[in-house]
């Protein structure tokens, strides 16, 4: 699947835009604040239903307007995705038909984004790494999206109960049963995802470091032991029992202490925890390996249907890593934004189409 064109109305700093893309490589150039990332953001929301940089949809409305419209056309039988946001309401259509569930969109168009913010995966708190797992798995498996949504709903209800002066024990048990039911699904998928990531990331790290660095990645959860997950027997019961063990402690602390909402990923380089003790360079390199691995998994999952967005990330990499990244994924449609590129890299990217953006307008197409 390839995105052939994008249409925008009142989106960010674009009043009215229509742009046609190359089926392989699209390079979007311009100074900061001109609208490069807005184009990539518009592509992404037609895949995931929300932005990779905005907290709410209202942020994407052009100043002075009351809504926005985006449309992508795909070369797969001229299929179309539209998003209409107006008066605080968002409607998503696939081929003129409104979707009933977001999972329909997640399963239709698959886009992976790599931005400078992703380089913080290693050094920031566990929530960043949980988001990394969740976003990837939601795009690959709509059933994961459903399990995660249900888990968050139940977790919220349980935490409300725990904040009461005298929590109802019967209700607490009901919420714990529900948490175990949905939590096990999340844990199993995350465990398998990280297992795949670990294998690919280790190989990538060896390549880009000339075999000087060994990267070890592991999934961490406090709900189940590794051997229990591996045996895959009575997991809901084991999870539920762990919750019951922590009941009094949770009531005292007034929050749920066990479950996927406390998961993490451990990342070691040459047997050293690089989140705590690694240099910025090592942390950035490990983050690259994680993102490269995610993209590789998405490619394997969806074959030609995976699309890659590199949002102003080339400036964060040295030239060898830039070339490695682009060459590794030259068989998928790729969108790259940058303020400038070197002459050598420009020649390397000559096979695609270049768009020069200034003040929300396309000034030049090469």
Phi and psi based region of residue 108 (left: phi greater than 0; alpha: psi -120 to 50; beta: remaining): alpha
Higher pLDDT, 360 or 3: 3
Phi and psi at residue 16, to the nearest 5°: -155, 115
Per-residue model confidence (pLDDT) at position 303: 62
- Examine the domain organization and report whether 202 and 273 are in the same domain: yes
Residues 178 and 286 grouped into a single domain: yes
Euclidean distance between CA atoms 225 and 193, whole angstroms? 17
pLDDT, average across residues 158-166: 96
Domain final position from 282, 303, 324: 303
- Assess whether 337 and 194 both reside in one domain: no
Residues 190 and 59 in one domain: no
Q: What is residue 327's predicted lDDT score, i.e. its pLDDT?
A: 78
Neighbours of 2 (CB within 10 A): 16
For residues 78 and 132, state if they share a domain. no
Are residue 19 and residue 133 in the same domain, yes or no?
no
Q: What is the pLDDT of residue 178?
A: 98
Residue at which a domain ends, from 274, 303, 332? 303
What is the number of residues in the chain? 366
Q: Name the maximum alpha-carbon separation found in the chain.
A: 68
Report the pLDDT value the prediction gives residue 256, as an integer from 0 to 100: 98
CATH number of the domain encompassing residue 109: 3.40.50.300
**Mind listing the pLDDT tens digit for each residue in 226-248?**
999 999 999 999 999 999 999 99
- Within this chain, do residues 123 and 111 fall inside the same structural domain, yes or no? no
The pLDDT value recorded for residue 208 is 79
User: For the chain, what is the domain count?
Assistant: 2
Whether residues 170 and 287 share a domain: the answer is: yes
Which pLDDT tens digit goes with each residue over 58-99?
999 999 999 999 999 998 677 999 999 998 999 999 999 999
- Among 244, 311, 289, which residue's Cα sits nearest to residue 51? 311
Say if residues 333 and 308 touch (Cβ distance below 8 Å).
yes
Q: Do 167 and 288 belong together in one domain?
A: yes
pLDDT in tens, 243-298: 999 999 999 999 999 999 999 999 999 999 998 888 877 888 888 889 889 888 88
Residues 286 and 335 in one domain: no
The band of 304, judged by pLDDT with boundaries at 50, 70 and 90, is: low
Which ranges in the chain belong to alpha helices (H)? 36-48, 102-106, 126-140, 142-162, 169-208, 226-231, 235-245, 247-253, 274-277, 280-302, 319-328, 343-348
Q: What is the pLDDT of residue 8?
A: 97
Q: 355: part of which helix (H) or strand (E)?
A: strand 353-358
**Span of 13-27, 75-89, 323-337 with lowest mean pLDDT:** 323-337
Specify whether 331 is located in the same domain as 285: no
Mean predicted lDDT score pLDDT of the chain: 91
Q: What is the mean pLDDT of residues 29-53?
A: 92
Q: HSE (CB half, 13 Å, CA atoms) of 72?
A: 27
Are 107 and 203 part of one and the same domain?
no
204 is in which domain, residue-wise? Answer: 118-303
């Amino acid at each position: 699947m390839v995105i052939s064109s994008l249409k925008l109305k009142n989106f960010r700093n674009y009043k009215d835009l229509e742009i046609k893309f190359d089926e392989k490589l699209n390079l979007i150039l311009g100074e900061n604040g001109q609208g490069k990332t807005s184009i990539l953001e518009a592509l992404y929301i037609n895949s995931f239903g929300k932005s990779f940089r905005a907290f709410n949809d209202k942020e994407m409305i052009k100043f002075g307007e009351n809504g926005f419209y985006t449309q992508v056309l795909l070369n797969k039988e001229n299929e179309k995705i539209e998003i209409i946001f107006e008066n605080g309401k968002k409607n998503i259509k696939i081929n003129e038909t409104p979707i009933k569930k977001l999972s329909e969109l997640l399963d239709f168009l698959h886009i992976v984004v790599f931005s400078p913010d992703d380089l913080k995966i290693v050094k920031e708190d566990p929530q960043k790494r949980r988001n990394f797992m969740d976003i990837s798995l939601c795009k690959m498996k709509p059933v994961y999206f459903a399990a995660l949504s249900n888990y968050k709903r139940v977790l919220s209800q349980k935490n409300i109960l725990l904040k009461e002066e005298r929590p109802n024990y019967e209700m607490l048990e009901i919420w714990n049963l529900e948490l175990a039911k949905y939590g096990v699904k999340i844990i199993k998928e995350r465990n398998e995802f990280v297992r795949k990531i670990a294998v690919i990331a280790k190989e990538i790290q060896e390549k880009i470091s000339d075999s000087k660095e060994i990267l070890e990645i592991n999934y961490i959860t406090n709900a189940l032991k590794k051997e229990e997950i591996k045996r895959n027997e009575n997991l809901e019961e084991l999870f539920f029992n762990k919750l019951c063990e922590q009941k009094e402690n949770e009531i005292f602390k007034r929050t749920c202490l066990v479950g996927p909402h406390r998961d993490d990923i451990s990342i070691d380089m040459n047997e050293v925890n690089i989140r705590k003790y690694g240099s910025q360079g090592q942390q950035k390199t490990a983050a690259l390996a994680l993102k490269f691995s995610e993209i590789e998994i998405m490619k394997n999952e969806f074959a030609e249907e995976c699309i890659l967005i590199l949002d102003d990330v080339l400036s964060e990499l040295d030239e060898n890593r830039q070339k490695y990244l682009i060459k590794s994924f030259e068989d998928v449609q790729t969108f790259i934004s940058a303020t400038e590129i070197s002459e050598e890299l420009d020649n390397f990217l000559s096979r695609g189409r270049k768009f020069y953006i200034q003040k929300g307008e396309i000034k030049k197409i090469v």
